[in-house]
């Protein structure tokens, strides 16, 4: 399905030109690969871009960028957490003397540095 059908304003087959301010009655128009159609003069006014598809794509890029940046911040927050202590407790009499397990984040940092070549 062409990109134009994913936008808020789908291509209208009965309409010769999808430009909102079109005043041309000519039947000389072109259908873009996205599915929207424009007269040559109208397309020139739009600076040779389909505004509907441009808005759709730029919004999607903004959403992906925001999601990516949130993910980067989440990873940063995880790396900045203090070392966790996990208490191992059990009702078994054999496990009553369980030790506290410290998760060493330094091992993860060293591994990341060695993988990236920043020794």
Q: What is the mean pLDDT of the chain?
A: 79
Q: What is the pTM of this model?
A: 0.55
User: Does some domain include residue 61?
Assistant: no
- Banded pLDDT at 90 (limits 50, 70, 90): very low
Distances (CA, A) of 80 to 89, 110, 116: 27, 15, 19
> Does 89 map to a domain?
yes
Q: Is residue 69 part of a domain?
A: no
| Domain residue limits at 104 | 82-119
pLDDT tens digits, residue range 37-65?
A: 999 999 999 999 999 999 999 999 999 99
Identify whether 41 is part of a domain.
no
Domain assignment present for 110 = yes
Task: Look at residues 23, 20, 27, 9 and name the one whose alpha carbon lies nearest to residue 46.
Answer: 20
């Amino acid at each position: 399905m062409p990109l134009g059908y994913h936008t808020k304003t789908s291509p209208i087959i009965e309409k010769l030109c999808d430009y909102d301010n079109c005043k041309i009655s000519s039947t000389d128009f072109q259908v873009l690969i996205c599915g929207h159609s424009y007269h040559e003069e109208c397309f020139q006014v739009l600076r040779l871009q389909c505004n509907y598809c441009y808005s759709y794509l730029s919004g999607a890029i903004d959403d992906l960028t925001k999601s990516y940046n949130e993910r980067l911040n989440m990873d940063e927050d995880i790396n900045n957490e203090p070392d966790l202590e996990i208490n191992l407790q059990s009702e078994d009499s054999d496990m009553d003397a369980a030790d506290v397990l410290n998760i060493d984040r330094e091992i993860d940092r060293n591994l990341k540095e060695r993988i990236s070549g920043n020794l």
